[in-house]
Every structure is written in structure tokens, then in C-alpha cells.
Structure 1
Amino acid sequence: MSTTTERRAGAREWGGLAVLSLPTVLLGLDVTVLYLALPSLAEDLRPSGTEELWIMDAYGFLIAGFLITMGTLGDRIGRRKLLMLGAAAFGAVSVMAAYAGSAEMLIAARAALGIAGATLMPSTLALISNMFADQRQRSLAIGVWATSFALGMALGPVVGGVMLNHFWWGSAFLLAVPVAVVLLVAAPILIPEYKAPQSGRFDLLSVALSLVAILPVIYAVKRFAKDGFDVPTITATVIGLVFAVLFVRRQGTLESPLLDVRLFTNRTFSAALSVLLVGLVGVGGSMLLITQQLQLVEGLPPVEAGLWMGPPALLMFLAAIGSPLVARRVPPGIVVAATLTLSMVGYVLLTLVDSSGGIALMVIGFGLVYLGLGAIAALGTDLVVGAAPPEKAGSASAMSETVQELGLALGVAILGSLATAVYRARIDDQIPAGTPADVADVAGDSLAGAASTADRMPEGWIDLAKEAATSGLNTAMLVAAVCTLILAFLSAVVLRHVGIIGGDEPEAGEAAAPAEPAKSQV
């Protein structure tokens, strides 16, 4: 990885990074802030079960679908311009969501928030690559950025709880308004504009193909998490894969493609994307299962459970900031492999959690898991963006975020389904004979169902359900530990050609992609 001779960033650029971190935290916050608000929201709007699911899922669903489109659009119309348009739209639609008078209106607002959010994520990361030309500074800046989204997710339940203690459920959405105002005022002052030269026309057919490729796959993953392999899941997967092939083939025929598939010929780009995808699978699954364990097994209220997630979030932040600094002296592949090994130790600790009180063990284990997340998010994202020429930074950023969104969704689907299968297998023989069929079905489906039927079951029943759910957690974490150990080894191998950050020698076997002069202006 070659050293850049570009000028080093100053106070203006670091101030701009602080501004760019605000919407990134907000995007993460919006993913989890409704976890606590859902009961109050359901009482007010009375959504059906299907509408409830769409209220929760529409946001992440549309973000994932539009990331590639918006990343490339920013390269073409101007990254700062798209960021400001997206921030204004996000603030306006957040007000619409806060005052939604029906479930249908809230679903529409959440979908619109997802599309607006998709303009913010790649724009923030691509602008960082413009502002921090010095490779070492850029790596550190991306480390700060990488923690912002996860920090927002960690803060979501806590912030949601505080807001609900004082205001109505819609107040959680209004947090976006001051963030949007700050960004709109500060961005023209602190953040330079960038527009890729000779960007060509925007191919709407490619946009349509990308959506029909990504959205069915995301839908299939989410449906698999709830219903397993069924006809709709398989059908959606096949549709997504077919249109993905058509999308890739079309990109190869265009002079100005929506996604330059030639980026994948750069092995640093492809290897880093693979590490991000697989690494986030374990994180997504463990995040779901640990939050459930804290609330349903340990009996903690959501706000307190959110506070227990604070120490792991701190470790993630330290890893995201520290790993680029360490990678100035140690090759990134070794840094990633070492931190993933620590994550594997964390997963092993989580296999030892029992149902009789294991909060400390959970926090320590999940903290080590988050340590690995911080490192792969910072270094993996930096390698992806750094491997692309400047005029493709928006597209590369969008790919980085798309695979991370997919990794999290796969983690919830695969590890969540595994834990549920273990629970059902363990609890099936424990349901007392003579239990009404409807009660047995609910209690045997999940721990949440068991808790809701506890008053209609014999004394001590809920303890058996907690033990079964904990066994599911232990099994899923064992699988995550094995996979993470394999990923640690593969990371050291596939990233071995990447030199230390800011090193003097170019990467072995890598030819730098020719980049046209940047069209940058204040």
C-alpha cells in the first residue's frame, strides 16, 4: 500500500469529520430506536402483525436496496450536494414519521427514511476519502466513522427509553431535525464538494436491475429468519440472483456503469469485502441474541439492557481508532486476524453463559466480539475505499456498506434461526401434557412466547424455557466461534499482500487503478 504525498488534513477537515459523523450516528439510531417505542406505537396506531413487521423492516430494507444507486449518484452530481439533499429529506420525513396518524403512513415514512438514509451513508464515507488524502489520516478518520453507525445502534434503546419517559413515541424521530439543521449549516463551511469528472449519463435501467437484484435477496434473508426455507424465500432468492447476473452483465457493456465491476479484479477490494461480509454475520446474530438474553432471560428493562451494551461499544470504538494506528507498523491482515481471534475468544465465553445469571460473562464476551467488529469495520472499509480510484469512491463506499448490511441480516437469519431451532427442540418435550394447543404453540415457538403464556403454565415452566433459550444462544455462539477462527486464518492469508498503512512499497501484485484528476471545489 503506497504512501500518498498529498497534503495532510487540518482543523477544517477534522471539523468536517465531526459533522459527517452526526448523520452516521443518526442512521444507526434509527435502526434500533423503535425497539422500545413499538408497544406504545402499537397501542396508538393499532397496526396488524404484518404492518408491525414493515414498520420495523422498511427502513433497513430500502437503505440496502438504494445504497449502490445513491453512491454512484453522489459521484455524478456531487457528494456534498447529495449529502445535503439527503439530510434535508431525512429531517422532513422524520417529522412526517413522528406525527404519522396511521400505520400505513408510518410505513411510508419509514420507507422514505430508508431511501434518504441511503443518500447519507455512501456520501459521508466517500467525502472522507476526499478530505483525508494522507493515507494514515484517512485510515484514522474512517476508524472514527466506522464506529458512528454502531454507536447509534447501541444508543437507540437508551435514547428511545429516555424519550418515551418524557414524550410520545413519535418524539424519537424528531432527533433527526437538529442533526439535519447542523449538517445543512456546517457542510458548506467545513466539507469540500467533489464531483467525478466525465461521469457520463445515469443509467436508469441499471438502477432498476440493481433494485430487483438486491431487494428480493434482502427480503429472502429476512423471511428466512422468521419462516425458514419456504417457497416465497426460495423464489425471492432465485429472482434476486437472476437479476444480479443481468445487472453485472449490463455493467460490463456500459461506458459509465452504475457499478464498475472491474473493481472486483482488485484483490484487496474483493478480499476486504469478503472479510466484512462474513465478519458481520457473527456480529449480527450475536447482537440479536445477547439483547434478547439480557431482557428475556436476565429480566432487565430495555434501558438497563442498553446500558450494559455500553462497555462493548467502548471496546469497539477503541478498536476502530486503535487498529489503524497499529496497522502503521503491523500489516492490516495480521491486525484483522489478531482481533478476530480475540472475537473468537469472546464467542467461546458466550457459549459458557447460563440462565442463572451471566451478565458479566455476556458483557465481557460480547465486548471481545465488538473488539473484532471495530477492527474489521475500520480497516476493511479503509481497504475497500482505498483500493478504488477517487472518482469511484462513492460506488466503493456503497459496496462496503451493502455487504455490511447483508452480513448483519444474514447473521440475524442464520444464527437467530439456529438458536430458535435449538430452543424448539429442547422445549418440545418439556411442555406439560394437556396444555391447550394454542398455548403450547406459542410457548414452544420462542422464549417471548413462553413468557407471554407463563401465567397459564405450571410453576417453574418459565425457568425451563429460559434454559432452552440459553442453550440456543450457546450453540449459535459455538458456530460463530468456529467460523470466526476460520475467518481469522483466511484474513491473514487473503490480506497478506497488503503492506502497512503509509508504507513506502506498493502492494505486491496490485496495479494502481488510473484515476482522473478530481473535480473538487469548496
Structure 2
Amino acid sequence: MTLISDAPSVIRNPRLALALLALPSLLIAIDISVLNVALPRMTADLHPTPTELLWMNDIYGFMVGGTMVTMGTVGDRIGRRRLIVLCAAVFALASAVAAFATAPWMIIVTRAVMGVAGAAIMPASMALIGVIYPDPRKSVSAMGAYMTCFLAGMAVAPLIGGVLVEHWWWGSVFLMGVPVMLLTVLTGPRVLPEFRAEHPGRPDLRSAVLCLASILLVVYALKSIVNNGWTWTPIAAAVAGIALAVVFVGRQNRLDHPLVDLGLLRRPGVARTMWVLLLTALVMGGTSLFVSFYLQSVLGLSPLGSAMWLLPQMIAMIVAANLGPWLGRTVPPARIVATCMALMMAGFTLFALTPEGPAGLYVLAAGSVLTTGGVGAAFPFLMNDIISHAPQERAGSAASFAQTANEIGIALGLVVMGSIGTVVYRSQLTSDVGHADGSWVDGLNQAAANHDNALLDHVRHAFTSGFHTAALTAVAVMALVTALTVRTLRRAKG
């Protein structure tokens, strides 16, 4: 496949180009969680039904996860800079419409559009980083800076959303993205290099529909199981999603110009690194569920107090995302990533040892810093490893593969770790008080409603036992991840 690139041999201002790529990622990250802050005011004004409320909250994440693989390939075909500029304009327009929405369906539609645009911008941006910084070491550092912006957006979203909603109106949380995206539209063609395939072949719409439907069904099923338990509806959705995924894979193998080049997964090291990303996201996503409940339900902290104790882990992740690449200038990447995996294993071990009393707060905080710091330092190397394995004309597709594995891993972790914790919780509660109906949320609510301190203590103890078991499972998973990581990155030289 031949390529078209209008990137000069030396990009005039690579730092400016990186900043222009990173700023939209900041807004995309903020939009993932900022709606939670504005939702109460929006609900009072728009009066959504329970179903509409659910879709208002979840549709953005669904569309990001469901379309990222397709949009990463589209960027490789039509040009990554062109796709970034086009989708930045779409994101800005959808944000402006959402800010002045007068009905729930308008929020749902505009958030869906914003999700597709965000799914297009992220893999195209990460793929262009390799064009802007062809040196592998500089590319990893640039990836760390890019991830810093994304993580900072996740960290400050509740604060920014709270300030905007408090002093203006709920629509202001959407308007803040408009100027940043317009800046990308106006300056992108002048600052960013272009890169695309010259003869990409015709896009296959059937493949795009199959990809979207399969991922949406699987993600919907996982989220439904977390919220409502194992019922026939999410199980049927998961089966249908997996069946469509099988059809999608078969179609890609038959087409002369497939929507997604699955041959990337057969390149040496790529499949193993994808498994590392998936499993790491699984244990991080799964244990985060327990950490939040432990802080508020076992230790009795307020939501604000809980958020303050979670702040160190966000700071650790942001610092590590830059410290890891800096160390990579002198230390072999394989050694850095293996060390990061060991740090994460140590963090999950602390989770497994977390006591129920006040001392548990410090143990939990230390474990959170180790786990998030480990993944923050390792992630730029893992992403760069996958992208560097792919030919430049498929770098966007490779980045989208990796991001989708991360999204599905988080959702899968909530189901797997939550199910493990629930099984242990129910067994502990049965042996202690002869009652095992429902989840720990039901137990906590029942104890609070009946002012039953004895039951509350039993529920907290049973939940902590479930948390410890889930954490031990995470330790075992991280042992496997460490082995995969060392094998995958052993070839890398400092």
C-alpha cells in the first residue's frame, strides 16, 4: 500500500503540534465524566424518563467504545489530520447544540455524535505522534505528555463541572469544549502533518455496522450485568454481540480491502501486548469498584472526603505518565514496564491486606498510588509498542485496537471482579447472619433503613472479605501480565 504524506522532513514546531493533539484529548476526557455533575440540574429542567436518563449518561461512552476501531481505520484511509479537523468541528457543533437542548432526546443524539467524534480524534492523534516524533524514545515521551492531558481531564472534570453548574447553567459544561475544538479546526491544517494511504480501497459499510453492533452489544451487556445482575437480557445481548464479532472477523479475512486489518494481531508481540492492556484494564477497572465502596460504605467517608483520598492516585498516575518516558531515555523499556507491573502487583497485595479500621485508609491510599502509578508509567510504552509494530499506514487502526481493548477490559473487570466479590460477600453473610439475598448495596441499604448496626457490621465485614478476594485475583492476573510484558518487550533496547 502506498502512502501520501505532506509532513516535512523536519516538522517546524513538534511541541506545538503535540499540544494541539493533546488539547482535544483533555476535552474528550472531561466529557466522559462531567455529565455526572450536571445531571441533577438537567433532570430537573428536561424531565427525562428513567430510560432516557440512562441513555443520556451512558451513550457517550458506548459510542466511543463502539466506533473507535472503525474510526481509527477511517483516519488511516482519508488522512489523520483531515479526520481530526473534521471531527473537531463536529464535536464543537454537537456540544453547542447540547448546551441549548430542550428535550432529553437532543442530549442523547448530540452525546452520541460527540462520542463518535471523540472516538475518531484519539487514535488518529496517537498515530500522528509517531509521525511528529519518529525517534522511539521521543515518541514514548510524547505519548506520556498526551496521556497526561487525558488523565488531567479525568481528574479535574468533577471540579470544573461543579464550578460551571454552580455559577452558570448545566449547558455550560458542553460549551467549554467549543473554543478548544474550534482552535483545532483553525490551526490543525497549518500545524499538523497529514498522513494517509494513497489507494485505501472502498470502505465496507457492512463491516462498520457489524463492528459497531458487536461492541455496543457486548459493552451494554457488561454494564447491565454490573447494574442489574445476571439476567437473560444482558446474557442474550452478550451472545448476540459475540456472534456478530465472529461474523465481522470472518468478513475481514475474506475482503481484499478489509475495514480492519486483523493481520496486525499476527505481528510478533502485538497480540501479547494487547492482552497486557486488556488484563491490566480489567484489574484496574474491577478493583476501582471496591475502592469507592470501601471508602464510603466501610469507612463512612462523605463523597467529597472520598474524592480527596482518591486525589493522590490521580496525581501519581499523571506524574508516572511523564516519569516513565523520562527514565526510558537511559533504562530499557522492558525493565521499566516489568517494574511497573511489579509495583501494581504490590498495590493489589496491599488491597488484599486492607483492614476495616481507620488504618485501612492509609493502606488503601498506598495501594492506589502503587497501582495507578504503575499503570501510568507503563501505558505510554505499551501504546507505543503496539503502534510501532504496525506499518505507518495502519498506525491509527493499531491505536484504536489498543484503546478498544482498554475500554472493554474496564467493563469486563467490573463484571468479573464484581461477581467474585459478590460470591464471597454472600457466602460470608450466610455463615454470619443466615442471609444472602442481593448485593452488598442491598445489605447496606437494608441495614441503614432498619438502623441495624449489627447487620451493618456484618455487611461491611462480608464486603471487605469480597474486596480481599478480588484483590488476590488481581495479584494473580498481574503475575500473568508481568510474564507477558517481559516476553513482549524483551526485544526493546534502551
Q: TM-score, normalised by structure 2?
A: 0.90
Moved more, 87-96 or 268-277: 87-96
Q: Does 1:404 align with 2:398?
A: no
Q: Deviations over 1:373-422 (max 9, x none)?
A: 11332111001100111111111111111111111111122223333444
Letter of the structure 1 residue corresponding to residue 321 of structure 2: A
Give the Cα–Cα distance (whole angstroms) in 2 for the partners of residues 445 and 132 of structure 1: 49
Q: 1:428 to 1:84 in 2, by over 3 A?
A: farther
Matches within 5 A, 1:87-98: 87-98=88-99
Matches within 5 A, 1:288-303: 288-303=289-304
Aligned residues: 487
Q: Deviations over 1:441-494 (max 9, x none)?
A: 7xx534377348724433565454444433332222221122112211232124
Matches within 5 A, 1:397-476: 397-427=399-429, 444-447=438-441, 450-451=444-445, 454-459=448-453, 461-476=455-470
Task: Tell me the SS of whatever aligns to 2:254.
Answer: coil
Give the Cα–Cα distance (whole angstroms) in 1 for the partners of residues 94 and 298 of structure 2: 37
The aligned counterpart of 1:233 is 234
Task: Tell me the SS of whatever aligns to 1:363.
Answer: helix
RMSD, aligned CA: 2.7
Q: 1:103 to 1:424 in 2, by over 3 A?
A: farther
Deviation above 6 Å: which 4+ runs of structure 1?
A: 6-11, 429-433
Task: Tell me the SS of whatever aligns to 1:168.
Answer: coil
- 1:262 is displaced (CA, Å) by 1.4
Task: Tell me the SS of whatever aligns to 1:237.
Answer: helix
CA contact (8 A) 1:216 1:236 kept: yes
Give the Cα–Cα distance (whole angstroms) in 1 for the partners of residues 442 and 94 of structure 2: 32
Matches within 5 A, 1:6-405: 12-357=13-358, 358-405=360-407
Task: Tell me the SS of whatever aligns to 1:195.
Answer: strand
Moved more, 57-66 or 319-328: 319-328
Give the Cα–Cα distance (whole angstroms) in 2 for the partners of residues 107 and 453 of structure 1: 36
CA contact (8 A) 2:81 2:188 kept: yes
CA contact (8 A) 2:280 2:481 kept: yes
Q: TM-score, normalised by structure 1?
A: 0.85
Give the Cα–Cα distance (whole angstroms) in 2 for the partners of residues 250 and 372 of structure 1: 38
Give the Cα–Cα distance (whole angstroms) in 2 for the partners of residues 298 and 41 of structure 1: 31
Q: 1:161 to 1:285 in 2, by over 3 A?
A: farther
The aligned counterpart of 1:499 is 492
Q: 1:453 to 1:22 in 2, by over 3 A?
A: farther
CA contact (8 A) 2:141 2:322 kept: yes
CA contact (8 A) 1:347 1:478 kept: yes
Task: Tell me the SS of whatever aligns to 2:492.
Answer: coil
CA contact (8 A) 2:226 2:415 kept: yes
Give the Cα–Cα distance (whole angstroms) in 1 for the partners of residues 29 and 289 of structure 2: 15
Letter of the structure 2 residue corresponding to residue 368 of structure 1: L
The sequence identity of aligned pairs, in percent, is 38
Match of 1:488 among 478, 482, 485: 482
Q: 1:43 to 1:309 in 2, by over 3 A?
A: same
Give the Cα–Cα distance (whole angstroms) in 1 for the partners of residues 180 and 8 of structure 2: 30
Moved more, 199-208 or 98-107: 98-107
Q: 1:281 to 1:148 in 2, by over 3 A?
A: farther
Q: Deviations over 1:235-275 (max 9, x none)?
A: 22322222222222222233322111111121222221111
Structure 2 residue runs without a partner (length 5+): 1-6
- 1:160 is displaced (CA, Å) by 2.7
CA contact (8 A) 1:7 1:133 kept: no
Give the Cα–Cα distance (whole angstroms) in 2 for the partners of residues 145 and 430 of structure 1: 49
Relative to total residues, which structure has the larger helix share, 1 or 2?
2
Q: 1:273 to 1:87 in 2, by over 3 A?
A: same
